[in-house]
Amino acid sequence: MQSKAVKPNALIYLLVSVAVIGLDQWSKAWVLSSLPEFTPVPVIEGFWNWYRTYNTGAAFSFLSDAGGWQLWFFTFLAVAISGLMAFWLSRTPRANWRSALPYALVIGGAIGNVIDRQIHGHVVDFIQWYIGDHYWPSFNIADAAIVGGAIGIALMGLLDGKAEKKAG
């Protein structure tokens, strides 16, 4: 009986997750040791500030005033989603970087913010973009990785769907 050849999976992309976590935690350590709280520090005048702030909720401070239970809810949610995406990575061929990279970005960003929630009780945000009086909510490296990964997952879903429709 011949054994079936095992194809390499994309779990190696978890190294991208580790890099995102490392960069995220390093940047937040810098922020906590170097930036004043709630005080804009211009990077590009009229567009970008360093602005140290905290978020006890999720995106756009969703549930930030919920009384504390949200820390455990968002921790559980991030760990569950990261586990699911790691499972998907284990089922993704290593050569399929277009699918693997977005999963790895989301995992790294989610775990980076979980670390903040568990250590500080909130997420440290520090990147503030604005034009005139219109401000985007402050965010961090982990948030950027999550958004970039989510966009990548959505694009791959759309592109793969079009390719299948075209082939079928």
Sign, CA dihedral 46-47-52-53, equals positive
Catalytic residue chosen out of the listed positions 24, 65, 116, 125:
125
| Cβ neighbours of residue 108 closer than 8 Å, sequence gap 6 or more | 16, 17, 18, 19, 20, 21, 24, 142, 145
| Number of other CB atoms surrounding residue 164 within 10 Å | 9
C-beta separation of 131 from 39 below 8 A: no
Contact indicator for 99, 89 with CB cutoff of 8 Å = no
- Is 143 a catalytic site residue? yes
SS3 151: helix
Catalytic residue numbers, as ranges:
125, 143
